[in-house]
Amino acid sequence: MSNDFKCMCCSEFGNIKQLLDSKKCVTVTTSFEKIILDEEILNITRQQMIMKTKNKLKKKQLSALEVLNKTWKYICYVQFTHWVNSWTSLGKGIRVVIPTCVINKIRNKYLEKDGLYMGFKKSNTHLPS
């Protein structure tokens, strides 16, 4: 990751800090393991995303018999964003920064063969007030 958002610690986010309990990092919590990395849970999320999306390319990628690691990473990122934002939809085009520890944990589970990963892309859309 090579941009201004690369060193954001999970403890710097108020909505994540409340999930930490006595832990220092959200990625070591039981909830993170179950909600973000558990493949049964991710498959349920994937099915919901398939039903909800109107984007044909995204639907095709999500529906593939053999799901690519980049698709699993996307599902994990969406799942994490919903979890830490009280499961509320932020709306189309709204992008939020995900802490480095979370990105690294997800990337380590779903490695890309070429080792190339997409960094954070800013959006022109602003968060709802």
One-letter amino acid of 15? N
Domain ranges of the chain: 10-109
Burial of 64 (0-12, 13-18, 19+ CB in 10 A): exposed
pLDDT given for residue 72 in this prediction:
94
CB-based burial, 72-89: b 16+ in 10 Å, e otherwise: bbbbbbebbbebbeeeee
pLDDT tens track, the chain, 129 positions: 444 455 677 777 767 777 777 778 888 888 899 999 999 999 999 999 999 999 999 899 999 989 989 899 999 999 998 888 876 666 666 777 788 888 989 999 988 777 655 655 555 544 444
pLDDT given for residue 129 in this prediction:
43
Confidence (pTM) = 0.77
126: Cα within 13 Å, side-chain hemisphere: 2
Measure the CA–CA gap between 80 and 77, rounded to whole angstroms: 5
Cβ-based neighbours of 127, under 8 Å, separated by 6 or more:
90, 94, 96
